[in-house]
């Protein structure tokens, strides 16, 4: 990318930053972002580098550029880069600099959201847990300990980027940087210290001298020269806190995240396009999709708590990097339209006209061209009206863009691109699951359950964050209680009661499993209570507390309790009499992690796994046994299609392929039965994450992404830690590909069909006229073109990876239909 000249908005402030490359000028008129002297409409998309692999980055970024994006936005994840204080990791998919250079090599710009608090449904919001445990620290407020650490990490990232000349002021791709994240949503909880902190953030950011503007999202009182930006489903009504600042949208939520036990949220392509078109109709200058590619929460990075391993987000690029059609294609057409008129949008005089009944026209006029937006925000009624002497019909909840104010070039409700139906196909390298041969070994070591031996001890119950320091999901709480026959609590009817704030609890008494309990999403405070048989004398109580991602959002989210805060009680009942013995103040012994994880049972390195190699057993493979390890080998699926492993039949745990964690799994947790509908999703009306959902009553997540870069060409090793108990005999590997493609395109458009690298094999349906139904159930309507649509599609498309069809009577013959004609088609891949 050539050296950049960037002009951005904000009152009457003018900065000149000089480098060996060129000058970067930052001025603020609120109308446009100017790069290399050209006023721009900028479209960006979030791709989080740790949620994919370095090998995937070039293809993801290439598809983003082909989709019409100008920039790639990413957070920077403090916890994975500084897992221990002053110990840094930028290797593999954590190589931030390589990611930014890949963006630059593709000819795109970058937006660097340093944070370093990121939320992002990431574990602990991206904060390293050791930060919480520093003496005297208070996070996200005016606290010297925290601010020193935040400045140290921010400076580290800035200096790394500067050393590689990655800021635009140095000729690099980074045109914007962000400090903090959505603090305005929670600032009131911090009082005056919160305001002092956000002022400090602004000053600290400016002191980094990066030569490009800093932004703060969701910060209505952002100090100058910070530019405050909007996050949300819709930001057309957003107004910056400085009238001369540009109207910027840092997070347009393309879908939503998924939680264990939750359904799959979807946001329609029509509504997403409507939100973007409305934003630019109302003076927007920069818009970013959160997410453009969601990806995968590998390892223990998923936050929440209870965020799934998949972070697909219903983004334009799916979890595996495939085009999510029609969303990707419908947005691409919008981006192309916006770019074609960006000169008019950024320099033209603006006239707004209220046409009544929630219909609004906006005219951008220059001496050489006028561009019009016709927006209908009515959620039920289409609008037909006369504008500038010509009649237009704009469907409900849609925006029409007229590049010449005469002819409709694009309408957000008219999808003229294909919808892809993705399928899972068996592993053709070997017959599975029959070919998988399993070995196993138990997890529990005797000293934890029968002797209660831990690394540290205290006469109190400690928070799991404090004890584990982020090193593991698992923490053993162990204590003993001596009971005599004459103890007041002694009876034939005793109960163990544990007050929990960890997400899961497994209880053992005297080495015997007593029971388990887990929380529901959004309600992580529960009480475990089970009848227990205790012995006279010493009794050992071992509680295994499990977290599934630490809290990542909310005021003072870092202080949310995890683990077993207590009380832990034994209750004895004799008739109506109840006696309680509180064990909370007993001597508790703590052990972080699991034996198998601490000893790297998942490793394929003999030097690391030598202690356990001889203990894997092939005989008497157990099923439905809790706290067990399973191991098998498999052949990598043939081809280049993305790979998933089907873990149906298992309970909950974590999986590793060739020693690399592909994340937590929990296929036994079915999604809620509520919210799904067999009716097509109506794009009209305001969207939220409960509106269009699927997968009710099915496993929350059954398939888990295995990046091809994790696998060898020949033999690979899969290791499972099964926490609840399951049956590995059903596990198998599959590939993800386009099974079929459908479209319902309007006349006078060019329909492009593609199978994403595979040939189109057959035409299942084609009709030009007024076809009825939807993908998978198309039917001919009351009128049809005189030419054989199936034969035309077969000739143009079958045997090819892609084809283009002119949707017109010229191609398909004359019809007796009215003015509106469409082509419905379904092809097999």
Of 73, 82, 149, 182, which one is the catalytic site residue? 182
Provide the strand spans (E) within 678-761: 693-694, 703-706, 715-722, 732-746, 749-754
What 3 state SS string does 139-166 have?
CCCCCHHHHHHHHHHHHHHHHHHHHCCC
CA distance 171 to 797: 44
723 is catalytic: no
Q: What is the DSSP string of 763-806?
A: EEEEEEES-BS-TTS-B--S-B-SS-HHHHHHHHHTTSSEEEEE
- The β-bridge partners of 33 are 40
Q: Is there a contact between 772 and 755 (Cβ–Cβ < 8 Å)?
A: no
Structure-block tokens of residue 335: 């981006």
Secondary structure (3-state) at 65: helix
Structure-block tokens of residue 51: 């949620």
Burial of 621 (0-12, 13-18, 19+ CB in 10 A): middle
Of 73, 121, 251, 722, which one is the catalytic site residue? 251
CA distance 529 to 314: 39
182 is catalytic: yes
DSSP 14: -
Burial of 619 (0-12, 13-18, 19+ CB in 10 A): exposed
Dihedral angle, C-alpha 86, 91, 97, 102, nearest 10 °? -170
Structure-block tokens of residue 688: 């939220």
Sign of CA dihedral 13, 18, 21, 22: positive
Q: Is there a contact between 150 and 116 (Cβ–Cβ < 8 Å)?
A: yes
CA distance 89 to 78: 10
Find out whether the peptide bond into 686 is cis, omega within 30 degrees of 0: no
Angle between helices 269-281 and 327-340 (to 10 degrees): 20
Q: Where are the alpha helices (DSSP H) in 569-694?
A: 595-598, 606-613
Q: Is there a contact between 648 and 701 (Cβ–Cβ < 8 Å)?
A: no
First to last CA, the chain: 37
- The β-bridge partners of 543 are 477, 507
CA-wise closest residue to 186 among 522, 559, 554: 554
CA distance 46 to 74: 6
The residues annotated with a catalytic role in the active site are 182, 251
């Amino acid at each position: 990318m050539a050296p950049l000249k960037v002009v951005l908005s904000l009152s009457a402030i003018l900065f000149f930053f000089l480098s060996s490359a060129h000058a970067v000028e930052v001025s603020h008129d609120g109308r446009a972002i100017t790069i290399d002297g050209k006023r721009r409409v900028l479209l960006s998309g979030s791709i989080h580098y740790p949620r994919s692999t370095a090998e995937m980055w070039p293809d993801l970024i290439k598809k983003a550029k082909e989709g019409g994006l100008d920039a790639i936005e990413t957070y920077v994840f403090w916890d994975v880069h500084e897992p221990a204080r002053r110990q840094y990791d930028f290797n593999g998919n954590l190589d931030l600099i390589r990611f930014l250079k890949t963006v630059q090599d593709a000819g795109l710009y970058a937006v660097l959201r340093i944070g370093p608090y990121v939320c992002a449904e990431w574990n602990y919001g991206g904060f390293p847990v050791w930060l919480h445990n520093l003496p005297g620290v208070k996070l996200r407020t005016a606290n010297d300990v925290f601010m020193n650490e935040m400045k140290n990490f921010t400076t580290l990232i800035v200096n790394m980027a500067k050393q590689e000349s990655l800021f635009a002021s140095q000729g690099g791709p980074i045109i914007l940087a962000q400090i903090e994240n959505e603090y305005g949503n929670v600032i009131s909880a911090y009082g005056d210290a919160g305001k002092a902190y956000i002022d400090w953030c602004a000053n600290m950011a400016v002191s980094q001298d990066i030569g490009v503007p800093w932004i703060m999202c969701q910060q209505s009182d952002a100090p100058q020269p910070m530019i405050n930006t909007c996050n949300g489903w819709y930001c057309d009504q957003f107004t910056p806190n400085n009238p001369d600042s540009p109207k910027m949208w840092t997070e347009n939520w393309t879908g939503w995240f998924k939680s264990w036990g939750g359904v799959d949220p979807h946001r329609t392509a029509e509504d997403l396009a409507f939100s973007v078109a409305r934003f630019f109709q109302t003076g927007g200058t920069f818009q970013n999709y959160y997410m453009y590619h969601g990806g995968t929460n590998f390892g223990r990075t998923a936050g929440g708590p209870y965020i799934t391993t998949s972070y697909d987000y219903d983004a334009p690029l799916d979890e595996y990097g495939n085009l999510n059609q029609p969303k990707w294609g419908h947005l691409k057409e919008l981006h192309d339209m916006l770019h074609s008129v960006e000169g008019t949008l950024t320099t033209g005089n603006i006239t707004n006209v209220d046409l009544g009944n929630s219909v609004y026209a906006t005219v951008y006029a220059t001496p050489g061209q006028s561009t019009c937006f016709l927006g209908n925000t009515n959620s039920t009624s289409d609008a037909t009206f006369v504008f500038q002497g010509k009649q237009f019909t704009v469907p409900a909840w849609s925006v029409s863009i007229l590049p010449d104010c005469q002819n409709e070039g694009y309408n957000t409700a008219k999808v003229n691109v294909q919808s892809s139906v993705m399928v899972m196909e068996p592993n053709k390298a070997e017959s599975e699951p029959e070919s998988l041969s399993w070995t196993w070994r138990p997890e529990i070591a005797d000293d934890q359950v029968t002797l209660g031996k831990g690394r540290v001890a205290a006469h109190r119950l400690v928070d799991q964050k404090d004890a584990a320091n982020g090193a593991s999901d698992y923490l053993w709480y162990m204590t003993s209680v001596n009971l005599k026959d004459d103890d007041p609590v002694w009876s034939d009817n005793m109960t163990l009661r544990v007050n929990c704030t960890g997400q899961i609890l497994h209880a053992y008494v005297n080495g015997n499993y007593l029971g388990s309990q887990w929380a529901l999403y959004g309600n992580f405070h529960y009480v475990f209570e089970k009848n227990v048989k205790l012995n006279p004398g010493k009794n050992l109580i071992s509680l295994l507390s499990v977290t599934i991602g630490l809290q990542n959002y909310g005021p003072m989210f870092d202080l949310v309790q995890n683990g077993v805060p207590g009380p832990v009680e034994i209750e004895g009942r004799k008739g109506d009499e109840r006696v309680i013995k509180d064990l909370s103040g007993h001597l508790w012994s703590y052990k972080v992690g699991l034996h198998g994880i601490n000893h790297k049972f998942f490793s394929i390195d003999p030097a690391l796994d030598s202690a356990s190699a001889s203990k894997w057993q092939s005989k008497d493979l157990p099923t439905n046994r809790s706290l067990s390890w399973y191991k098998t080998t498999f052949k990598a699926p043939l081809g280049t299609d993305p790979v998933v492993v089907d873990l149906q039949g298992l309970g909950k745990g974590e999986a590793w392929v060739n020693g690399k964690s592909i994340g937590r799994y929990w296929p036994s947790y079915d999604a809620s039965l509520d919210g799904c509908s067999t009716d097509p999703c109506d794009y009209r009306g305001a969207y939220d994450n409960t509106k269009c959902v699927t997968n009710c009553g099915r496993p929350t997540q059954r398939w888990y992404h295995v990046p091809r870069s994790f696998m060898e060409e020949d033999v690979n090793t899969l290791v499972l830690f099964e926490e609840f108990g399951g049956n590995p005999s059903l596990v198998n590997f599959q590939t993800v590909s386009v099974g079929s493609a459908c479209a319902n395109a309007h006349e006078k458009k060019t329909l492009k069909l593609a199978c994403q690298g595979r040939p189109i094999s057959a035409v299942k349906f084609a009709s030009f006229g007024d076809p009825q139904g939807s993908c998978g159930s198309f039917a001919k309507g009351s009128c049809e073109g005189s030419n054989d649509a199936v034969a035309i599609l077969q000739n143009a498309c079958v045997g090819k990876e892609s084809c283009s069809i002119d949707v017109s009577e010229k191609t398909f013959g004359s019809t007796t239909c009215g003015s509106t004609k469409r082509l419905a088609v379904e092809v097999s891949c």
